[in-house]
Every structure is written in C-alpha cells, then in structure tokens.
C-alpha cells in the first residue's frame, strides 16, 4: 500500500503500486516488475474538452452527475463490494459499488470452466456430489439470498453463504479466496427460500423451506423415496415446512449436520427469513404465504394456486425462539430424522418456541431495522409495509395474550398487540433495506418504485416517524433492493441498488431474453437520485449483500502448496515429487502424476498410460506472483482445472479412449504460453 488519497466522495483511496508480471516469459516464473504511477486528478476547472464531450454526446446534467459519482478509475478501489445471487445461474456475482463493475463470478452450484469447477477437479467434483446428496448429480441451483458471516451481528467479511431454492441446499464460500468450501443438502426439505441468514455470531446459518415437502409421520422427507398422494387432506396432514439452523464451523467452513437442528412447521409456504440481534437477539422470523394450504389443480376442478392461495386477508409471521429451541435440543427433546435433530411441531408449540402474528396479505420480505427492534414485512398484495415491534411481541408472549391458534395449535398473537405501524407505500411492496439515518427503503414491484420512509425510535428519533418521505421510479419490476450492510446494526447508507427483473427499453435489444437491470441509486441526500443502469446478462439475481471493502481481507496468493479446501499444505505437495507412475490400487490401474506449472512449462510434458487407467494428476502452480494463474485442460476429455499461484489441486478422470491427446495451459500466461503444453498417450489395451 502506498500513498493514501481522498477521492471526490471523501473516501480514502489507496494508491497501490502495480507490479506487472515480467513479460520476459522466457525467464521462467520471473517476478521482476515495474511500477505504474497513477495520474493525479486534474485540478479544477476542467478543460474545455470536457464541455465538448458533454455537448457532443448531448448529456444532461443528471447524466454527468451519475457518471462522475460512479466512475472509478482503473487502479482505484470501489468503496463497497456487493455479493449478488446469480439466480438460476447457480452462482454468486461480485460487483464493485459505486462502479457497478462485475469483478468475479463465484462458482457454487453449477460447474464453471474458468474456475475449473466441476470438470474433473477432485475437490469441486466431491463438493458437487456431496451437495447432491445421492439424489442425482445436480448441476443446477437457484440462488436467492446471500448472507455474510457476522460477529456481534455486524458483517465481518470472512464467510459468505448462499442458498439453492430449487434443491434446498446451502453453500459456504470463503472470502479469503472467494471459493466454495461446502455444500449441504438440508434434510427433510425439498425447496428452501428464506435465508441464508446468520445468527449474530454465525453459530448457525438458518434457512426456511418454501414449498412444503411430503413427510412420512415420524420419519420426515427422504428425497426420491417419500411418497404421499397429493390431495388437499393429505397436504394438510402430511406435508410440512421446516426452519433449519445449520451449525457452522467458521474454522473449516463446513456445516455440521450432527450439531444442527430443525423445526417442523405447518404446510404453509414459509418465505423470507431473518435472525434478530439487540432486542430481537434469540429470535428468528419468517413471513409466510398460502396459509390457505391450497394445492392448485385447475384440471381437477380446483381454482389455480395463485387464486386459492390469496384468499386470506392475513397470513402468519412466524416468530421462533431459536435460543430456546437450542436448549430443547440439548435437553434431548428433539427427534433424529434423516441426519438432523428435529423439533416436532407439537414440541415446538408445547415448549413455547413457535408463535404466529397475523400479517397482511400474502406478504413478502422479512427485514429488521438496525436497532433490532422493528421487523418489517412487505404487503405484496397489500399496499403497506407492516412493522412489528419485538418489545411488544415479547410482552404479548410473556402475558400469553393470544387471539387463538391455527389448525395445528400454534398460538396466534393479536395483530394490534404486536404492530408498531403500517405505512402505505405503493403497490406490491416486497423487500426493505435501511440506512444509517433511521430510514427504510421498500421495493414496490407493481408501482415500479423505491419508497423511502422513516422508522420509529430508536432508529429514527425525529418528529415524523413511520412516514413516507421520498420515492423514485425504477426500471422495471423491482424485486430486492440492497444498501450497504443493511439488515445489521450498522448500515452505511450512501447507495442503494435496485435489483430489477425487467429492463425493457434501458438497453439495446440483445434478443428476447433481455438482461436484468441493476440500478444504482444515490441515497446520501434527502432525495434519492438515479446514478447508473447496469445490465446483468447472466441469470436472475434476487438478493444482494453489500459490505465495506475494508472488511474484506482476501489472500493475494496462496502459500506454496496450499490445498484450498483446508488452507493447509496439500499432502501431494509435501511429497515434493515430479513425474508419474503406473500402479495397482485394489483391482484398478492408476496412473498417478505429480505435476508443476510455471511460465511456460508443464512438467511432465509427456504422460504415458493405458486405456482404462484412472489418471490422477496432482498439480502445483509454483508461481509466487499475484495473478499468475495457470489452467490445465485435456483435449476431448472434458477435463479442466484452474490452479492459482501456490495452489495444489488434483484432477481425476478415466482414460477410457485410446489415442494421443494434447493437454495445455488454458490461460494466456506468457509469450510462450502456446508452448506450455504436453501429451497424454493412452495406449489401447
């Protein structure tokens, strides 16, 4: 790190020196460098040519303002990093804020060749397979809600979590190397939606189901096994939702099912979920829809699901005392089902773990104000956000003030007893985020806007609590929105990203499948101001989490021989061999290879094996220079690995076809990159 300089938005920007790798690639692995110094910003006033650009391009003042607020020159740092779900691309996208530059796509649930994820690399193949949980080899995921690990409820920038709605899975990603470290299938659950959300110190990562799964009484749901005939009666009797608290080991990055627990829920569609802090510490919340328990069946004479599931004026906010649930589990009152301890619905009711509060009307979103006091739900079919007060909730529960119970016996609190306020905001309110000045921002899907309102004390202490104070149109069909470090005690304000589903007329027509549109909005002033439209041409992002860039401390290069699964030395690197041998393992022939990669040589550059051999290649990138990545791919074998500087990885494949196959480094790494190649000879047998 070099000189530190203030940029125009007052943010400290470090002037890093750029060490470019030597272009004398012949000097194998050389790291000699030269330094580029950045141009300093010109002193005002701007030269005439700037005016000329503005008039030539017919830019309006708003455009110029947006451009200046978002332009981050090369070599400068963005102020925030945004982790966005990649929707059904199955991945996570990493952006800079305010530049909206896409910096990285993290492979999670779907194979990704550039990162060598899922193409023979043993670690990633195992991850995908473990995450598939024996159902079939899943290469699809529908990512919705990213979460960052927390310390005292604040985002700490160490781990990232993301859920797969389609197959009820949860993944952890290390923010040391931006790689997926674990994928777990959530037991007794077919699809999941709410969460990931982390408990204040990331003891647990929680997630709720979406569509209830058929359960066999006392035995839960087993994918590919459990069958219950789908009728309205069976649905009510045998289908179940879940809320799962996955124990997370932040040392290894793994989820620990043996120390996790789950709460059985009625077959409503549990939706968004969040875990509280401060006054709501110990509590978790999820909104729900379809408390009608409709199953659809238009061809069978029933109304369509969307109609039948929208009858009730109120659905139920689920209020869960997870700390008490943890005690119940410790006391041995949970039942082991398919590898996880399950608190049955009856136990949850009897032990006072689960409560409902009415919420209008087929709601969406479930967010918590910075103080931890207010739980905010978007009305979706109701033009209001409904704000609950955890203090009132706790009081009403302590006084046992209930209006009755649901068909399963879950006690329902009185709406008036727990409500803090309702604010009429706009049509189709979905999700809420917060700033550092006591404001909430809600996305309105139908009226295409973001609406800003005031919270109540202690978040907002002015004289106009719970009132709309500003609105801004967005383009178009907004789902989530994201502000820096919202849904934690210390949101940072400044920017808001509207995650819009439709872009309609905002970009050139690139085919009927148009990009999604992330719109960056300036929220630093009283009035919101649109700064930038950013097309997203891969997948349909749902939620995003934004964190201050200083909180991230990623590795620059791996220590030599690092196994990225454990961040320790890969055993094969420790052996220190280079070369290969053919040997018998049980009754199968294995050709085991120890390989090094460095500009511009792959050693060995000839591997001879026999047809049918399992070829196992341990490869170490022995570069120490940042960015000096090599990749390894074998022609016609569908094998691809990415090996970052210092990394040791293993690929495995069966040499099932005879021939002589070129392998080569796939990253253009040096002038002699094309010569960085070798041959795999597979002798026919």
Binding site for ligand CUA (CB under 6 A): 630, 665, 667-669, 673, 676
Smaller CB separation from ligand CUA, 602 or 680: 602
Contacted by 452, from ligand CUA, ligand K7E, none: CB < 5 to 8 Å by type: none
Q: Which of 150, 185, 364, 419 binds ligand K7E (CB under 6 A)?
A: 364
Q: Among ligand CUA, ligand K7E, none, what binds residue 618 when CB lies within 5 to 8 Å by partner kind?
A: none
CA distance 107 to 121: 13
Least Å distance, CB 684 to ligand CUA, is: 30
Closer residue to ligand K7E in complex, CB, 430/444? 430
| Per CB under 6 A, 316 contacts ligand K7E | no
Binding status of residue 419 toward ligand K7E by CB under 6 A: no
Q: What angle do CA 500, 505, 506 make, to 5 degrees?
A: 60
Task: Determine contact, residues 521/498, Cβ cutoff 8 Å.
Answer: yes
Given ligand CUA, ligand K7E, none, residue 185, with its beta carbon under 5 to 8 Å by kind, binds none
Q: Given the complex with ligand CUA, which of 27 and 53 has the nearer CB atom? A: 27
Quick one: what does residue 630 bind among ligand K7E, ligand CUA, none, with the CB cut-off 5 to 8 Å set by partner type? Answer: ligand CUA
CA angle at residue 319 from 313 to 321, to 5 degrees? 170
Residues 266-285 that bind ligand K7E (CB under 6 A): 272
Long-range CB contacts (< 8 A, 24+ apart) of 374-379?
374/420, 374/455, 374/456, 374/459, 375/274, 375/276, 375/280, 375/285, 375/317, 376/432, 376/440, 376/442, 377/287, 377/317, 378/429, 378/430, 378/431, 378/432, 378/442, 378/443, 379/429
For residues 659 and 646, is the Cβ–Cβ distance under 8 A?
no
Query: Does 494 engage in binding with ligand K7E (CB under 6 A)?
Result: no
Shortest distance (Å) from residue 130 CB to ligand K7E: 24
Q: Exposed/middle/buried for 92, CB within 10 Å: 0-12, 13-18, 19+?
A: buried
Count other C-beta atoms under 10 Å from residue 503's C-beta: 21
Return the percent helix, strand and coil in the chain, to nearest 5.
15, 40, 45
Cβ proximity to ligand CUA, 211 vs 679, nearer residue: 679
Please, what is the minimum distance in Å from the beta carbon of residue 510 to ligand K7E? 22
State in angstroms the smallest separation of the CB of 365 from ligand K7E: 7
Alpha helices in 217-302 (DSSP H): 232-238
Q: Applying CB under 6 A, does 543 fall inside the site for ligand K7E?
A: yes
3-class DSSP state for residue 40?
coil
Which of positions 192-211 make contact with ligand K7E (CB under 6 A)? 193
DSSP class of residue 291 equals T
669 binds, among ligand CUA, ligand K7E, none (CB under 5 to 8 A by kind): ligand CUA
Min CB(647)–ligand K7E separation in Å: 34
User: Which CB, 159 or 543, lies closer to ligand K7E?
Assistant: 543
In Å, what is the CA distance from 140 to each residue of 39, 193, 642?
45, 15, 21
At its nearest, how many Å lie between ligand CUA and the CB of residue 623? 9
119 binds ligand K7E per the rule CB under 6 A: no
Output 207 or 340, the one with its CB closest to ligand K7E. Answer: 207
Instruction: Determine the Cα–Cα distance for residues 129 and 86; give it in Å rounded to an integer.
Output: 21
Tell me how far, at minimum, the Cβ of 21 lies from ligand CUA, in Å. 11
For residues 544 and 480, give the distance between their C-alpha atoms in angstroms, rounded to a whole number: 8
Which C-beta is closer to ligand K7E: that of 123 or that of 542? 542
Residue 239: alpha-carbon gap to chain centroid: 28
Query: Which one of ligand K7E, ligand CUA, none is in contact with 479 (Cβ closer than 5 to 8 A by kind)?
Result: ligand K7E
**Beta bridge mates, 677:** 664
Q: Does 353 bind ligand K7E (CB under 6 A)?
A: no
Nearest to 151 by CA among 140, 159, 143: 159
Nearest distance, CB of residue 429 and ligand K7E, angstroms = 11
Residue 679 beta carbon to ligand CUA: minimum distance, rounded to whole angstroms: 16
* Shortest distance, position 630 Cβ to ligand CUA, whole Å: 4
Rounded Cα distance, 443 and 411, in Å:
31
Place of tokens 């590898």: 339
Residues 135 to 174: which contact ligand K7E by CB under 6 A?
144-145
Given ligand K7E, ligand CUA, none, residue 375, with its beta carbon under 5 to 8 Å by kind, binds none
The minimum distance between CB 622 and ligand CUA, in angstroms, equals: 11
Using the rule CB under 6 A, is 380 a contact of ligand K7E?
Answer: no
- Nearest distance from residue 501's CB to ligand CUA, in Å? 39
619 binds, among ligand CUA, ligand K7E, none (CB under 5 to 8 A by kind): none
Q: Which does 442 bind (CB under 5 to 8 A by kind): ligand CUA, ligand K7E, none?
A: none
Query: Could you count the other beta carbons within 10 Å of the beta carbon of residue 282?
Result: 18
CB 287 within 8 A of CB 317: yes
What number of residues does the chain have? 685
Q: Are 447 and 427 in contact (CB under 8 A)?
A: yes
CA distance 599 to 601: 6
Nearer to ligand K7E, 433 or 522 (CB): 433
- 480 lines the binding site for ligand K7E (CB under 6 A): yes
CA atoms of 582 and 93, how far apart (whole Å): 42
Residues forming a β-bridge with 36: 18
169 binds, among ligand CUA, ligand K7E, none (CB under 5 to 8 A by kind): none
- Please give the residue ranges that form the binding site for ligand K7E (CB under 6 A): 144-145, 193, 272, 364, 430-431, 479-480, 542-543
């Amino acid at each position: 790190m070099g000189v530190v300089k203030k940029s125009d938005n007052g943010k400290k920007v470090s002037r890093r020196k750029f060490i470019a790798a030597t272009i004398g690639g012949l000097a194998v692995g050389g790291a000699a460098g030269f330094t580029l110094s950045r141009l300093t910003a010109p002193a005002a006033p701007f030269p005439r040519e700037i005016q000329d650009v503005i008039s030539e391009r017919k830019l309006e003042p708003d455009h110029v303002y947006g451009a200046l607020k978002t332009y981050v020159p090369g070599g400068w740092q963005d102020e925030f990093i945004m982790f966005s779900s990649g929707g059904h691309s199955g991945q996570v996208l990493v952006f800079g804020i305010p530049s909206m530059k896409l910096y990285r796509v993290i492979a999670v649930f779907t194979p990704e060749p550039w990162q060598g994820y899922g193409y023979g690399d043993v670690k990633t193949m195992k991850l995908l397979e473990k995450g598939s949980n024996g159902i079939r080899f899943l290469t699809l995921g529908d990512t919705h809600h990213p979460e960052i690990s927390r310390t005292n409820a604040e985002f700490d920038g160490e781990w990232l979590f993301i859920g797969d709605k389609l197959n009820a899975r949860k993944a952890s990603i290390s923010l040391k190397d931006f790689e997926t470290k674990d994928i777990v299938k959530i037991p007794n659950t077919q699809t999941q939606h709410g969460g990931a959300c982390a408990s204040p110190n990331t003891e647990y990562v929680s997630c709720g189901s979406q569509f209830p799964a058929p359960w066999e009484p006392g035995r839960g749901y087993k994918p590919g096994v459990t069958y219950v005939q789908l009728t309205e009666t069976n649905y009510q009797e045998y289908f179940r939702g879940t809320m799962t608290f996955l124990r997370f080991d932040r040392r290894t990055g793994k989820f620990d099912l043996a120390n996790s627990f789950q709460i059985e829920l009625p077959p409503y569609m549990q939706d968004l979920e969040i875990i509280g802090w401060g006054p709501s510490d110990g509590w978790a919340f999820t909104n729900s829809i379809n408390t009608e328990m409709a199953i659809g069946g238009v061809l069978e004479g029933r109304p369509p699901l969307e109609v039948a599931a929208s009858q009730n004026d109120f659905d139920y906010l689920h209020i869960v005392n997870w700390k008490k649930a943890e005690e119940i589990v410790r006391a041995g009152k949970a039942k082991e089902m398919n590898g996880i301890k399950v608190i049955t619905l009856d136990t949850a009711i009897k032990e006072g773990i689960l409560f409902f509060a009415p919420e209008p009307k087929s709601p969406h979103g479930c967010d918590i104000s910075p103080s931890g006091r207010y739980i905010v739900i978007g009305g979706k079919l109701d033009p209001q956000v409904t704000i609950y007060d955890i203090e009132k909730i706790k009081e009403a529960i302590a006084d046992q003030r209930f209006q009755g119970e649901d068909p399963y016996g879950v006690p329902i609190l009185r709406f008036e007893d727990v409500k803090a306020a309702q604010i009429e905001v706009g049509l189709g309110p979905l999700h809420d985020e917060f700033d550092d000045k006591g404001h909430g921002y809600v996305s309105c899907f139908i009226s295409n806007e973001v609406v800003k309102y005031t919270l109540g004390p202690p978040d907002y202490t002015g004289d106009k609590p719970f009132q709309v104070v500003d609105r801004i149109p967005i383009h178009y069909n907004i789902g989530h929105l994201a502000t820096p470090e919202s849904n934690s005690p210390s949101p940072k304000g400044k920017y808001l990203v509207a995650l819009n589903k439709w872009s309609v007329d905002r970009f050139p027509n690139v085919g009927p499948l148009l990009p999604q549109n992330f719109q960056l909005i300036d929220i630093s002033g009283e009035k919101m101001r649109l700064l930038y439209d950013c097309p997203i041409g891969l997948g349909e992002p749902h939620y995003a989490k934004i964190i201050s860039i200083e909180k991230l401390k990623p590795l620059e290069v791996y220590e030599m021989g690092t196994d990225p699964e454990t961040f320790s030395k890969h055993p094969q690197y420790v052996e220190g061999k280079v070369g290969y041998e053919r040997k018998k393992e049980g009754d199968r022939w294995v050709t085991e290879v120890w390989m090094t990669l460095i500009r511009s040589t792959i050693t060995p550059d000839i591997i001879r094996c026999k047809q049918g051999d399992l070829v196992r290649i341990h490869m170490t990138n022995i570069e120490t220079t940042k960015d000096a990545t090599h990749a390894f791919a074998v022609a016609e074998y569908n094998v691809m690995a990415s090996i970052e500087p210092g990394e040791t990885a293993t690929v495995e494949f069966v040499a099932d076809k005879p021939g002589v196959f070129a392998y080569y480094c796939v990253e253009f790494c040096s002038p002699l990159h094309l010569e960085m190649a070798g041959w795999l000879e597979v002798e026919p047998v």
